Structure 1
Amino acid sequence: MTKRYTPDEMACVMSHIEKCFGSVATILHEIVSPDIHVDICVIPPHDDSAYYTLVTMGMGAHRMNVPDELKGRLFDRAELVIALPKDWQIQSQEKQWYWPIRLLKDLARLPAQMDTWLGWGHAVDNPVPYADNVPFSSSMLIGAQAGNEGAAFCRLPDRDEVNFYQVIPLYPEESVFHTEKGANALLERLRAVSWVVDTERPNVLDEEDVPNELLDDADWHLESIEEKGLAVDEIVAFNHLAIFLRWCIEHQLMGETFSQDFPEVLENPKDLRSFIRDKLDGKLLRSMLNDKGYDFARYYYGDNQQPPYYPCDVDDHAFRFFGAERYFSAEFQDEAYLFVPFDERYYEEIAEVIQTRWGAWKNLQTNAVDWDGPTSLNAAFEKYLGCPTEYFPPMPDDDPLRAAIAYATRYGLRDGFVPVLIVEDETLWETLILNSDPENDGAGDYKFDPDRVAEYRKKLLENPIKNSSEVLDRLIGDRGCEAENDEMDWDEEILGKVVGGESIDHNVWWNSETKLTHPVILAKIPVKKPWEIFAWLPFGGWNDCPSPEDMMAITKHWYEKYGAVPIVLSHDELEMSVPQAVPMNDALGLAQELYGVCPDVIDQGSEDEATVGHLAASLSQSKLWYFWWD
Structure 2
Amino acid sequence: MDPAEKTKLLEQIEKWNDADEFSRCIEVIEAIPEQERDYLLTLNLSRAYSNLAVLGDHGALGENAEVDGDLLRHAIELLESVRSQGENDPYWNARMGYSCLMAYCSAATAYEYAKRWLTLAPKDPDAQKLVRDCEEYLEEEKSLEIDLKQREEIIRRETPDDDILGHVWLHIEQYFGIYSEMIHDDSYPEYPLDIAIIAPRLEHDYYTLVTVGLSQHQMYFSEERKKEKLERAELLINLPRDWKLTQEALKDEIWYWPIRMLLATAHFALGDPEVGLESRTTLMEGENGVPFAENTDLRGEILLWPGPFGQDSFACSLPDGEEINFYQVIPLYREELQYKLELGSDSLLDLCPDEIFEVINPQRLNLVTDREKIAYDLAEMDNAEIHLKKIQNLHLPVDELSAYNLMAFYLDWAMKRGHMSNPFLTRYRDIVEAVQNGKEHDLRTFIRNQLDGKLSTQLFNRRGSGFAQWYAQNNRSNPYVYRRDCRNIVLDELKDRIWKSIAEEEAAYLLLPYTEKSCRSVEHLLDERFQQYLETEFVDDPEERVARAADGKPVVIPDWDGPLFCYASDRVAQDGCKVQIMERLFPEREDMGWESGWAFYSGDEGDVYGESDEYYESHCGFYDIRDICRIDPDIIRFLNLPYGTMQMRSEDGAWYEVIRDDDSEEET
> Which one has a bigger Cα radius of gyration?
2
Q: 1 or 2 for the larger relative contact order (CA 8 Å, sep ≥6)?
A: 1
TM-score (norm 1): 0.34
User: If each structure's helix is expressed as a fraction of its own residues, which one has the higher value?
Assistant: 2
TM-score scaled to structure 2, two decimals? 0.32
